[in-house]
Amino acid sequence: MAEELRVSYLTGEYPRATDTWIQREVASLRRAGVVVDTFSVRRPGKEQLVGPEQRAEHDRTTYLVDGLRSPGLVTTHARLVARSPLRYLAALRLMAATRRPGMRGAFYQLMYFLEAGLLAAAVKRRRSGHLHNHFGDSSATVAMLAAELGGFTFSFTLHGPGIFFEPYTWRLDEKLARASFCACISWFCRSQAAIFAKPDDVERLHIVHCGVKPDELVPVHHHGDGNRLLFVARLAELKGLPVLIEALPQVQRIHPDVQLTIVGDGPERERFEALARHLNLGEVVRFTGYLSQAEVAAELARTDVFVLPSYAEGVPVTLMEAMGSGVPVVATQVGGVSELVEDGVNGFIVRPGDAEQLAERLVDLIGDPDLRRRQGQAGRAKVQAEFDNDTEAARLADLFATTVAASR
């Protein structure tokens, strides 16, 4: 009988309403027979637990921040010292070498080290063969330090674009050098990671897409006026939402009955709501806040065009969900978007920040049901062929198995 493959998963905050692809990935791995123990540095806010999937994952996840308040913190680190003083000293040196500048950076690095000790002890206690982390910033630092303290292997999934704005601050080079492998969500992401990897380490940068479950997405049927637009993302400036709102009056001149639904939340929501009111779009734009996966699927089922005019992206999963539902998309030429959206084939790509061009493409799609149908069908085929969650999770499981076998 083959030995059970057990891995530990870490993120900074899990589960979140905006990171459903991680939850799907974990679920696929478990269905494939991989035992996955989930860890998170922080607890998500209640507003993130929007559906049964998030609540179930929350209940089975271990939160490192809880251990920082426990008297067991000192005992845990004392045992790590006793087990291997040299390894503990090496981890301290790594902590010092990779901290961010300034007193604030030193303080946070100490917190990461304390959390890493708790994580290392938990991974060893559960006899996990490998530690995998999502994102390349603070949680990847915790994972790297934990692997050093515990003497086990680690890897991480690199998303972007945020980490590429601060690669030296977060010592991406050191993480790439120490990780058994790095899963990059796109070729664009891999190319950026290769800049900071040593030449001999580039071969350990693997493409593993975030994915969706196409068979669970109900195809939309396009007919008549396509006046219903949908935006799903965190409400932040980098998602380009002001550009979309400012484009709507131009769309209204051609299609007066246009409607926009905005799904998501964030610290800038009030500003975007104020902008919509300022442009007399109060009856045109609807803000829903965060929705569950089932509720987002219902919104997709009754929309005509999906819009994501971001300033920076990796490969947005919300675009995959829309395309997998047969909904044509309008997105921007940033990051790895063009690896998913083929301009004029399964959607349109516009210049980031160009409200006029965005409005023109929306006008084209709203008024042409045949165009929406063709692009929607092409988009669904693209997602089925290249962004199926189970297929991508299987690639990741193979990497885990190879890494664990090599470490033994």
Strand, coil or helix: 271:
helix
What residues pair up with 122 in beta bridges, in sequence order? none
241-279 per-position pLDDT tens digit: 999 999 999 999 999 999 999 999 998 999 999 999 999
- Write down the pLDDT at residue 50: 85
- Write down the pLDDT at residue 383: 96
Confidence category of residue 2, pLDDT binned at 50, 70, 90: low
Q: Which region holds residue 250: left if phi is over 0, alpha if psi is between -120 and 50, else beta?
A: alpha
Largest CA distance in the chain: 73
266-319 per-position pLDDT tens digit: 989 999 999 999 999 999 999 999 998 889 989 999 999 999 999 999 999 999
What share of the chain in percent tops pLDDT 70? 100
Confidence category of residue 225, pLDDT binned at 50, 70, 90: confident
- Write down the pLDDT at residue 221: 86
Tell me: pLDDT of 188 over 70: yes
User: Amino acid letter at 242?
Assistant: P
- CB of 137 within 8 A of CB of 175? no
Is the pTM above the cut of 0.85? Answer: yes
- CB of 46 within 8 A of CB of 70? no
Q: Cα 343 to chain center, whole Å? A: 23
Spell out a b/e string for 60-90, using b for 16 or more CB atoms within 10 Å of the CB, else e: ebbbbeebeeeeeeeebbeebeeeeeebbee
Q: Where are the beta strands (DSSP E) in 85-223?
A: 130-134, 154-158, 182-184, 205-207
Q: How far is CA 86 from CA 73, 75, 83, 241, 391, in A?
A: 20, 18, 9, 51, 41
- Write down the pLDDT at residue 293: 82
The answer to whether the Cα torsion of 16, 13, 241, 213 is positive or negative is negative
pLDDT, the chain, mean = 95
Per CATH, the homologous superfamily of domain 215-386 is Glycogen Phosphorylase B; (3.40.50.2000)
Confidence category of residue 222, pLDDT binned at 50, 70, 90: confident
- Write down the pLDDT at residue 1: 34
69-114 per-position pLDDT tens digit: 888 999 999 999 999 999 999 999 999 999 999 999 999 999 999 9
Confidence category of residue 18, pLDDT binned at 50, 70, 90: confident
CA separation for the pair 242, 272 (Å, rounded): 7
CATH 3.40.50.2000 domain span(s) along the chain: 6-211+388-407, 215-386
Interacting residues of 270 by C-beta distance below 8 A, sequence separation 6+: none
- Write down the pLDDT at residue 218: 86
* Mean pLDDT, rounded, for 160-175: 94
CATH: 3.30.390.50, 3.40.50.2000, 3.40.50.300, 3.30.1300.10. Which one for 6-211+388-407? 3.40.50.2000
Tell me: pLDDT of 230 over 50: yes
322-354 per-position pLDDT tens digit: 999 999 999 999 999 999 999 999 999 999 999
Tell me: pLDDT of 211 over 70: yes
Confidence category of residue 19, pLDDT binned at 50, 70, 90: confident
